[in-house]
Structure 1
Amino acid sequence: MDRTEKRAFVDSMAEVFAQTSFVLVAQNKGLTVAAVDDLRRKMKAAGATYKVAKNRLASRALDGTRFQGISPLLKGPTALAWSADPVAVAKTAVEFAKGNDKFVILGGALGTQNLNADGVKALAELPSLDTLRASLLGLIQTPATRIAGVVQAPAGQLARVLKAYADKEAA
């Protein structure tokens, strides 16, 4: 890379760090090309981005951002992953790490909070944003369903009483 390419890379990464809420740092030492491609596909399916970056350039891009605390993790062959949904990145990385011992999660940052590998694993155990939205929607809809059931119950009981009287009269 020449200087202009390096400068453009640092600027693009700084822009990414300004827009995202979570950055994961992982060590990818010894991963095959097929494994990296598989991980990229899984990350893309989860709505995340996975990028192998030069540590020095990534550190420069981190300077002045809220993720500056993860700079010490950038040693050796590292990769960065990020997404709008922090749980999606963490889940995908933790699942991939379970099946591939050469992929090691070093840590990450959620906003200004730095996370170690255990913190990332704990984040991966949380429900995803879509799951939380569905649960919230279910909670909102439940009272409406109960109200409709309560309102309909007296009318149903009245109809059953009238039917019972009609059956009694017919007999």
Structure 2
Amino acid sequence: MDRSQKEIAVKELEEIFDGAGSVVLAEYSGMTVAEMTELRADMRERGATLRVVKNRLAKIALKGKPFEGAADHFTGPVAIAWAEDMISAPKVAVKYAEDSKVFNIIGGFMGEEIFDPAGVEALSKLPSREELIGMAAQRLLSQATNIASALLSPAQGLSGAIAAIEEKADA
């Protein structure tokens, strides 16, 4: 890799780090090509991306950023996983790491926060954007149902009273 390619790679990493909702760092030593392909497919399915990075270039890309302290995690073979939202990459990475002996999460960052493996796991347990939208929609629908029944309740009572009066008049 010549100097111009390295500059392009650093610029790409800077864009990734700046634009990602969260970034997960993981050791992947010992993974087969098939395992890496499977993990990348899982990531892609959830809107996330996985890339193996050169540590030196990643450290350069982190310089001057609020999450520059994450540079300490870039030792040995490191892959980064990221997505535009902050939940997708941690969810897939943590799930895969639970089943794998060779894929280990070493940390991550989001905004100015730098996480250890436990922090990434906690982040992965948060509901995704779609789940939050579903929960909000469900709450709105239940509120709408409650409002409709409250509005119909007096009318039903009134019609019952009219029917009772009508029965008395007929009798």
Q: Same fold (TM over 0.5)?
A: yes
Q: Secondary structure at the match of 1:75?
A: coil
Distance in 2, matches of 1:50 and 1:170, equals 79
Q: Secondary structure at the match of 2:87?
A: helix
Distance in 2, matches of 1:6 and 1:123, equals 32
1:35 maps to 2:42? no
Distance in 2, matches of 1:159 and 1:46, equals 53
Residue 101 of structure 1 and its aligned partner are, at CA, apart by: 1.1
Aligned length: 171
Distance in 2, matches of 1:169 and 1:32, equals 87
Residue 38 of structure 1 and its aligned partner are, at CA, apart by: 0.6
Distance in 1, matches of 2:28 and 2:161, equals 72
Q: Which amino acid aligns with 1:10?
A: V
Residue 50 of structure 1 and its aligned partner are, at CA, apart by: 0.6
- Which residue of structure 1 lines up, in the alignment, with residue 26 of structure 2? 26
Q: Name structure 1 gaps, 5 residues minimum.
A: none
Over the aligned positions, Cα root-mean-square deviation in angstroms equals 2.0
Q: Secondary structure at the match of 1:52?
A: strand
Q: Which amino acid aligns with 2:51?
A: K
Residue 67 of structure 1 and its aligned partner are, at CA, apart by: 2.4
Distance in 1, matches of 2:121 and 2:24, equals 11
Q: Which amino acid aligns with 1:111?
A: G
- Give the direction of change, closer, same or farther, for the CA distance of 1:63–1:159 in structure 2 (3 Å limit): same
1:113-133 CA deviation, whole Å, 9 max, x = no partner? 110000111111111122112
- Which residue of structure 2 lines up, in the alignment, with residue 129 of structure 1? 129
- Give the direction of change, closer, same or farther, for the CA distance of 1:93–1:167 in structure 2 (3 Å limit): farther
Q: Name structure 2 gaps, 5 residues minimum.
A: none
TM-score when normalising by structure 1: 0.90
Distance in 2, matches of 1:21 and 1:106, equals 18
Distance in 1, matches of 2:85 and 2:102, equals 25
1:81-104 CA deviation, whole Å, 9 max, x = no partner? 111222111110011011111000
Larger mean Cα displacement after TM superposition, 156-165 or 12-21? 156-165
Larger mean Cα displacement after TM superposition, 63-72 or 100-109? 63-72
- Which residue of structure 1 lines up, in the alignment, with residue 88 of structure 2? 88
Distance in 2, matches of 1:19 and 1:57, equals 17
Task: Say whether the 8 Å CA contact 1:25–1:80 is kept in structure 2.
Answer: yes
Q: Secondary structure at the match of 1:86?
A: coil
Residue 165 of structure 1 and its aligned partner are, at CA, apart by: 6.5
- Which residue of structure 2 lines up, in the alignment, with residue 10 of structure 1? 10
Matching of residues 1-171 of structure 1 within 5 Å = 1-162=1-162
Q: Secondary structure at the match of 2:75?
A: coil
Distance in 2, matches of 1:167 and 1:58, equals 84
Task: Say whether the 8 Å CA contact 1:17–1:67 is kept in structure 2.
Answer: no
Distance in 2, matches of 1:155 and 1:58, equals 68
Distance in 2, matches of 1:23 and 1:131, equals 21
TM-score when normalising by structure 2: 0.90
Distance in 1, matches of 2:168 and 2:59, equals 86
Distance in 2, matches of 1:25 and 1:170, equals 82
